[in-house]
Structure 1
Amino acid sequence: MGAGVQNEEDNNYPPWLIPLLNESFFVQCKSHSDSHKSECNMYCLDCANGPLCSLCLHHHHHNNHRHIQIRRSSYHDVIRVSEIQKHLDISSVQTYVINSAKVVFLNKRPQHRPVKGVTNACEVCDRNLLDSFRFCSLGCKIAGTSKDLILSEKKRFVNSFTPSTPPLTAAGLRAAKRRKGIPHRAPMGGVMIEH
C-alpha cells in the first residue's frame, strides 16, 4: 500500500473520506453546463470540496492534486479498486467486477429481501457477502470500524450517507407502477389477400 493508506485497526481515516461518501455525483456542473463533459464524477482528495467535472479538475488548480473518478453501476456509485487502494485500505470491503474492472461501492445499497442460506453478511447493513469480506461498501466499513459508535448508531451513521439511487418522485412512482394496457389488434377489414 502506498503512502497515506489508512489501516482499519487504527480507525484514523483520511479527512476526505466522509465528505466523499456524503456527496451526490453525476449532476451537471454549474460552471460548464454547455459542455458535453459537464457531468460531475471526479473528486479531488486534496481539496475535498465536492464533485467536479473533468473540465473543472483540469482548469481550477487541481493539476498536482490527487483525484479519483466515481463511476456508476445500476444507479449506484462505485470506484475502481486500482484507484482507491492507493489512498485507503479496502481489504475488508467486498469487491465486484463490473465492465472488466474491479470496483467497490461507496455506500450501502438497498437489499429488498434477505436471502436464505447465506453464511456471511455485512456487519453494518446485513447485505449478503462472500465469506472473506466484512463490509459491502466503504460507508459500511467506516461505520463498522468506528470505535466511537455502538451498533444502533452505526446503522444510523451509514444511513446518513448520500444514497446512490435517487429517491422516486411522484412522477417516477407513477411510471414505475404503470402497466401495459390491453393489446388491440389492427383492423383487418381493409386487407385483401389474392393468390
Structure 2
Amino acid sequence: MGGCGGGDCEYELVFNDDDDVSKWPRWLRPLLQTSFFSQCKLHAAAHKSECNMFCLDCVNGPLCSLCLNFHKDHRSIQIRRSSYHDVIRVCEIQKYLDITGVQTYIINSAKIVFLNQRPQPRPGKGVTNTCRVCDRSLLDSFAFCSLGCKIVGMSNNFQKKMGKEIEGSDSEESMNGTSRYKQMIRNKIQSFTPSTPPQTTSMMNYRSAKRRKGVPHRAPTGGLIMEYY
C-alpha cells in the first residue's frame, strides 16, 4: 500500500465492503495514496519534470506536465503543496467529487482542500468543532479536515475511539518504555563501573600515617558518569 502524499497518515484508506466502494470514484483512493513531486523518470532531462499531475481516467500514478501529452482528452488534475502537504484547488476537484463537509482554505487567492490529514497533538483552547476522524480543529460548518478523513469517517464500519482512551494508553505505554530504557542504561553503567571495596582498619591507619599536618591535599578526581535518556 502506498504512503499518503505529503503527510503522515494515521489511518489506512481501506474500503471495507461493496457499499463503501460505491460511494467513491475508483480513482479517489489511488489519488490519496500517491506520492507526488518526485522527478519524472521518463522526462528527467526536461526543465519541468516534477510529477504533480494525476490522470483520473488512467489512474497510473503521478505524471509530469510532459506526460499529459499521452493523456489528451482525459480528466487530469494538478496537485499543489502547502506547508509540505498535498492540496488541490476546489474548482478542480469539485467537478468530479462531492467535497461537502471538508474544510476549505484560501492559499494564494485560491480555495483549496487537503488530500490527507495533518497530525495535530490536541485541539487548541476554546475549540468547539473538530474533525470527526483525527480531531483537528475545524470551523463549525465543517466535519472533516481532508478528503482522506471524509472517506474514513463516512465508512460503514468506521468507529472512532475515544480520544482520552487513546491518549491515556499511549501515554502509559510511553512512560513504561521510558522507564525500562532508563533502567537498562543504569544497569549497563553499573556493570561497567567497578564496585568500591570496603575500607579496612589497616587501610585507614595507613592513609592517616601518610598525611602530613599543614600540607593541603587536593580531592582526587573521580570518574564522571553521564546518563542519556
User: 2:105 aligned with 1:105, yes or no?
Assistant: no
Alignment match, 1:72:
81
Counterpart secondary structure, 1:40? coil
Cα offset for 1:37? Answer: 0.9
Distance in 2, Cα, partners of 1:109 & 1:40? 22
Please identify the structure whose Cα radius of gyration is greater: 2
**Paired residues of 2:133 and 2:144 also in contact (CA < 8 A):** yes
- Provide the rounded CA distance (Å) in 2 between the counterparts of 1:142 and 1:81: 17
**Amino acid aligned to 1:136:** C
What secondary structure does 2:79 align onto?
strand
| Paired residue type of 1:116 | K
Question: Does 1 or 2 have the higher relative contact order (CA < 8 Å, sep 6+)?
Answer: 1
Q: Quote the Cα distance in structure 2 between the aligned partners of 1:12 and 1:112.
A: 30
Bigger shift: 49-58 or 108-117? 108-117
Secondary structure of the residue aligned to 1:24 is coil
Q: Distance in 2 between matches of 1:72 and 1:79?
A: 8
C-alpha displacement of 1:116: 1.2
Report the 3-state secondary structure (helix = DSSP H, G, I; strand = E; otherwise coil) of the residue aligned with 1:20.
Answer: helix
The code of the aligned residue for 2:108 comes to N
Aligned to 1:29: 40
Task: State percent identity of aligned pairs.
Answer: 70
- Structure 2 gaps, min length 5: 1-19, 162-229
Residue type of the alignment partner of 2:56: L
Count how many residue pairs are aligned between Structure 1 and Structure 2. Answer: 142
**1:190 counterpart residue number:** none
Which residue number in structure 1 is paired with residue 195 of structure 2?
Answer: none
* Residue aligning to 1:175: none
2:10 corresponds in structure 1 to: none
Listed as ranges, the gaps of 5+ residues in structure 1 are 1-8, 153-195
**1:150 Cα deviation after fit:** 2.7
Matched residue, 1:38 = 49
